Chains A and B, each alone.
Chain A
């Protein structure tokens, strides 16, 4: 204990230790600690203990929590791991939300049918050529069409619209479609083409995904190989160090024995 001032209380020492006291109080405690070996030792020991605490870290664990919504705008019910980011973007507005599969398929059918029909109207008697024809020809056909009677075009488009709506409502193959009098478009054929196209797109998507998955697996395998190699190298290094140690021990044990033997040999001579 200091001769002049009483020892700091534990609370004061803790306050001093964590530097959470007023400057005047800190100065006072510091002055006392300088003079008092007991308090100085206490502060040192507490500081050492604190230093030891830094070595304790929680094990690394994969977290990645994310709130996900269950349906539409219902409140979140689950807190899940590793959900794709796209699922959490539902709050942005309907145009940012992914469409359901059936809606995407319907939209694809409508767009494709519209494209086909427009080409049919524009190219007159040879609808299939219109698709394959170079762009310049299409432009020429479109230019010609501009000069035609507009009322006919409206009628055609009205008919097309009703057909498209029918196709949208029902499955393309089962749509109650009456072939047009000009016989330019066959709904079954159109449906078959759409299905074929969808199938090709799906195949292509599947192939791409397979390729990516294979690549990812290969990367994972490579990573494992590298880890194994690194582990083996480290083990070898450890063994090598151990061997060196053994050598050292043997050498230190052998050298005196050799010296004695040499001395004996020399003495014998």
Chain B
């Protein structure tokens, strides 16, 4: 009996890989090992970075499955291009750059604004069960509504502003890192952030999620 036949009979959650995270090695060390042909080391890097890359892709393109594909393609491209990675930038920056390029390609292919894919058919009770028990259903519903509003408002932003906000807010990058990734001056990043946040604020005000600003700057 071969392994595939055995695996097929098991519930899906038991077929997940059991790769244990190795926190003792730095990204650079794992990259060096990977370049030497150690696939396990590269799988450690995947384990370490797949969530952030998926989150980035999802927030930029707004589609769950496509974000997953972008994430997968990012790591595959990274693996194939390991020889070309000279270590001048951080591995994570290099990975983010690949992912963002793939997102841009995806957006160009779609030729339309990213569609937010808030799961409307999601069962709130099921979602409640998946969250921590302290959160009430009312809180959960409110949080999900707010999340949907934010997602919708973000989807309406121009791609550069949205990406700048995502990299800053959700990935904690510095202005310089964002400028390097977006290939623009530092001041442009700040402008994008300011304009993006301002548009978001107006959107949220319109949706009743924020109190409208009473005084306006000139």
Contact = CB atoms under 8 A, between A and B. Distances in A.
Interface of A: 1, 7, 10-11, 13-15, 18, 20, 37-39, 41-42, 45-46, 48-50, 52-69, 73, 75-76, 79, 82-85, 88-92, 101, 202, 205-206, 209, 213, 216-217, 219-220, 227, 230-231, 234-235, 238
B89 interface: no
B91 to A, nearest CB: 15
Interface of B: 1-3, 6-7, 9-11, 13-19, 37-40, 42-43, 46, 50-51, 54-55, 58-59, 64, 67-68, 71-73, 75-76, 79-80, 119, 123, 125-126, 128-130, 137, 143, 146-147, 150-151, 154, 165, 168-170, 174-175, 187, 190-191, 193-195, 197-198, 200-201, 204, 209-210, 213-218
Given A73-B37, A91-B37, A231-B129, A64 B16 contact: yes
Given A52-B210, A56-B151, A91 B40 contact: yes
Given A10-B191, A42-B217, A59-B64, A49 B201 contact: yes
Contact of B79 (A7, A53, A76, A209): A76
Nearest to B55: A58
Contact of B11 (A52, A69, A75, A216): A216
A171 B90 CA distance: 56
A85 to B, nearest CB: 5
B187 to A, nearest CB: 6
B1 A84 contact: no
Given A38-B217, A227-B129, A61 B79 contact: no
A88 B147 CA distance: 38
B146 A52 contact: yes
Contact of B39 (A49, A63, A91): A91
Contact of B129 (A82, A202, A234): A234
Nearest to A202: B1
B209 to A, nearest CB: 6
A67 B79 contact: yes
Given A7-B217, A38-B216, A231-B126, 19 more contacts: A11-B190, A15-B190, A20-B174, A45-B210, A49-B200, A52-B146, A54-B169, A58-B54, A58-B59, A61-B54, A65-B46, A65-B75, A67-B79, A76-B79, A84-B3, A88-B17, A92-B40, A216-B10, A235-B125
A205 B5 CA distance: 13
A209 B201 contact: no
Contacts of B37: 73, 91
A79 B75 CA distance: 8
By DSSP majority rule, is chain B's interface helix, strand, loop, or mixed? helix
A234 B137 contact: yes
Given A55-B143, A56-B147, A85-B19, A220 B190 contact: no
Contact of B43 (A10, A38, A66, A213): A66
A118 B217 CA distance: 96
B117 to A, nearest CB: 8
B39 A84 contact: no
B209 A52 contact: yes
Nearest to B58: A58
B17 A20 contact: no
A235 B128 CA distance: 12
Nearest to B45: A67
B169 A50 contact: yes
13 contacts: A52-B209, A54-B169, A55-B143, A65-B75, A66-B46, A79-B73, A84-B3, A84-B17, A85-B17, A91-B40, A92-B40, A216-B10, A234-B129
A57 B165 CA distance: 14
Contact of A49 (B143, B147, B204): B204
Nearest to B154: A56
B54 A63 contact: yes
Given A61-B68, A64-B16, A88 B150 contact: no
A63 B214 contact: no
A17 to B, nearest CB: 8
Contact of B147 (A55, A101, A202): A55
Nearest to B36: A91
Contact of A11 (B10, B50, B168, B191): B191
B17 A82 contact: yes
A132 B2 CA distance: 33
Contacts of B7: 84
B62 to A, nearest CB: 10
B129 A76 contact: no
A81 to B, nearest CB: 8
